[in-house]
Structures are given as C-alpha cells and as structure tokens.
Chain A
Amino acid sequence: MSSLPSDLRYTKDHEWLRLEKDGTATIGITDHAQAALGDVTFVDLPKVGATFAEHAVFGTVESVKAASDLYCPVAGTIVGVNAELNGSPDLVNREPYTGAWMIRIKLDNAAAAQALLTADQYKQLL
C-alpha cells in the first residue's frame, strides 16, 4: 500500500478531500478503496450544479466485481466533474489521488472539512 498524502482529509468510507486555495474542495477515492474494488470500468458522476447533503450518495463506481456508492464527505454544490473518467475509468486504479479526482465542490460550510479524518487518523482504520 502506497503512503497516504498528508495534505488530504479522509472519510471512513474511503473518500479523500483536498481543500483548494479558492475555497472549493476536490474529492476522490483512496488507494485502499480502488484496490478493494479491483478493475474500475465506469464512474457515474453528478452534473455541475447538483447539490448534496453531507454523506449523500453523489455517484457510483463500477468495477468488474461490484457497484459501490460514492458518499459526499461535505455538504455543497458541484462546480466541476472529471470528464476524463468517462473515457478512462481505469485512472481510478492508476492515479487515485491525482488523475482520478471525481468532483469539485463548493462547500456550504467551509469549516466542515476540518471535521474529516487526517491521514494519520485514516491510517488507523486500514
């Protein structure tokens, strides 16, 4: 297992979140999650403008083995989705923390991200 980026926040559902300088946050799934899923064949993502409550299902990731829900770590409005995943869903397996980011969200409450797990806290769950 590769090391966990220390600048990210994490959830017990194996999503990661990065706070950007403009106050939005980028969200994806962790290396642990992609390894457990196996070969990813499709990522079902929401449309820009959609709003989600904290822990609402914002999409689905399909692997050969199973379809798994994606949970929004924080409440907010979608301001961007990663269109590259449409053509290259396998990016989730290859670059879970970089190329395979899934959504960018404008947080309803900028402080909400601080309640998420740190890399050290997340590591305890694995």
Chain B
Amino acid sequence: MSENLSRTPLYAFHVANGARMVPFAGWEMPVQYTGILEEHLAVRRTAGLFDVSHMGECRVTGKDAAAFLDRVMTNTMATIPVGMARYTILCQPDGGCVDDLIVYRLGPEEFLICLNASNAPKDIAWLRAQVDASQVKIADECAQWGQLALQGPAAEAILSGLTSVKLDTIKRFAFVVATVANVSGCIISRTGYTGSPGFEIYLPAASATKVAEAILAAGKPHGLLLTGLGARDSLRLEAGYPLYGHEISEVISPIQAGLGWTVKFSKPEFIGREALKKQADGALPSSVILFSLADRRIARQGTPVFAGDHKVGEVLSGTHSPMLNKPIGTALISSDALAKGNLTVDIRGNRIPLEISAEPFVK
C-alpha cells in the first residue's frame, strides 16, 4: 500500500476480519470483506456495519454560531432543533459545492458538522475564512472521533442490546448522546447513506474497536455482515444519494444535482445565493440524472452520453444494482439534450439507450 495514507482506529479490526484494504480519499479503507454483492444484500435484508471513521468532524460554537452557519450554508440552520441534524451544502460564491455536510445541533450555540473525508481540511479552512466579525469558534475534531454506520432492517434490534436508549424514540435525522457498549459520550443518530434504515454512531476514536467488536458480536445472530466501501457505493447509488466529486463538486451546483430542496432562497443572504437563484430560475446549463440500462454492461464514470452523434454529457457514477440486477448510474447531461430525450451511452462501441429514472431505485 502506498505511503502517506491515513488509517482509521479500526485498521487492525479490518485486517483481522479479512478485509481487502484499498486507498480511498487519502485513507486505507476496507473495500470489501466477503464480497460486494453479499454485503450489499445484507444491508438491504438484515444489517451491515461500516467503518466511516475517515469522515471528518468539526465543532462550531459561540453566540453567533447559528447565524454564522446560516450565512455559509444553503439550508436553514437556525431552525434546527437541539437534538436534530440537517443535510446541507456548503457553496462557493459561484454556486459550486465546497462540500455536502450533515449539521448536528448539540445545543443552542453548539453544532457538530460531519465533513467528507478528503474535504475536511479544505472545509475547515473555508469556514474559518468566512468568520469575519462573527463570535464563533471552529474546532477541528477529526482525530477525536471514530464513526460507525450500522445500516439495515435489523440495525435497531442489534443496537438495542448495547445501549439503554429507547431507539424507537429517535426519529429520522434525530440523535442522542448515549452510552454504547459501555462507552460513554457516543452520538447515536438515525441517519445513513444506504437507503436502508439504520444509525450512524459517532464515538471516541480510542473506543471505536471496542464498540465495533460489540456490534459485530450482537449482530452475528441477526445475519449482520461487515460491509466495505464497495457496498457503500452501490447502496448509495441505488438510493440516489450524491457523492462529492461525482454528483456534486466545485463545478456541479446543488441545483444541477437535483438538491434544490437544500437551498433555501427564503434566507435573504448566504454564500452562493445569487448564482444559485439564477440557475433555479431557469439558467441551468446541465443537470444530473439517475439512469438504468437494459443491458449487462456497466456505464462507469466518464462514459460519454450521446444524442445521435453529439456528445451531450457523461456518466458521473456507475455500478451494478444488486436489487434491480442491472446497471445503474448518474450522468451530467446538457439541458437541451435532456429536453429532447433519446439518449444513449457508448460502452466499448456499444450504443445502449439511457433509461432515465425520476425516482431513486430504492426508497
């Protein structure tokens, strides 16, 4: 494995459990343990446990914390109740995305933000550069936290044996600070990136292995599998969730990505508002769509999309959907071509019709 890769607190746990480790976003991460298809289906049918400790965290505190976040984020932050989380985009002035984030409100003047792994240093520097006269402190807590995602219909039954918290009282996008497997100071949040029910658990990095071992042992009788980044990608694509660097990026705005619901123009001011408003009012050069193919070939990232002989876009993400048993993906396509339809992808010289889906494949 090449040098300069970071390791999560669970590195030894992965190796001991037979993971195949690969470089991802500057980290050495498990891509699979037993096989991507099997792990994918475990999450849909029983449960899977992901190490997502590579994700970053920062804490924003202070008298102006809510107002500051409302000024930098596209979604409304001041109205998040304590104990709830909200998905939002952090935008550039031109509407491009710095990152997509989940913001947890720990208190009236205290927020914990979950950052994408490779973007974490950039995000924290970006936030600090926007502080101006606001009374806020931005603390980098990336190294302090481990993160596990326990996902699947059996997740609640598995976790309920390891905590005294009544999990059924945690609504979607709600969280509690709790003790899990005798480790205090964990955050249990009913969130996820798979399209199946479940929890994300933030925990002190030093205790991550202890909690992972406990969940694995509690989950085995339910059919829980350890699940890697391979299944995480096919699960999130079936559910239609964007991945930074693919469906959203510095050059693909939330409006283009179909994430207009996260952009609150009712706020009089936030970074990117003017550019995003123009796009929302119709000046949209291209849009991201979800597609499937009636074929067995997978249209992977970079595969060209054609209208007749004209290239009108390209694939952003592509994989095999285990639930549909056919290829699925996302593509960025010019608005003109989208309006006309009749699009194909070219895979190794084969022209295959793009079947655009208005809805995620798994809800």
Chain A residues packing against B (C-beta within 8 Å):
38-39, 41-42, 44, 60, 62, 64-67, 89, 93
Contact = CB atoms under 8 A, between A and B. Distances in A.
B37 A39 contact: yes
Contact of A39 (B35, B296, B300, B348): B35
Nearest to A57: B348
B348 A65 contact: no
A68 B35 CA distance: 18
B320 interface: yes
Interface of B: 31-32, 35-38, 230, 234, 296-298, 300, 319-320, 348
A41 B348 CA distance: 16
Contacts of B38: 39
Given A38-B36, A39-B35, A65 B230 contact: yes
A60 B38 CA distance: 23
Contacts of A64: 36-37, 230, 234, 319-320
Given A62-B298, A64-B230, 19 more contacts: A38-B35, A38-B230, A39-B35, A39-B36, A39-B37, A39-B38, A41-B296, A41-B298, A42-B296, A42-B298, A44-B348, A62-B296, A62-B297, A64-B36, A64-B37, A65-B230, A67-B297, A67-B300, A67-B348
A62 B300 CA distance: 11
A66 B36 CA distance: 12
Residue among A67, A89, A93 with the most chain B CB within 10 A? A67
A39 B298 CA distance: 13
22 contacts: A38-B32, A38-B36, A39-B36, A39-B38, A41-B296, A41-B320, A42-B296, A42-B297, A44-B297, A60-B348, A62-B296, A62-B298, A64-B234, A64-B320, A65-B31, A65-B36, A65-B230, A67-B297, A67-B298, A67-B348, A89-B296, A93-B35
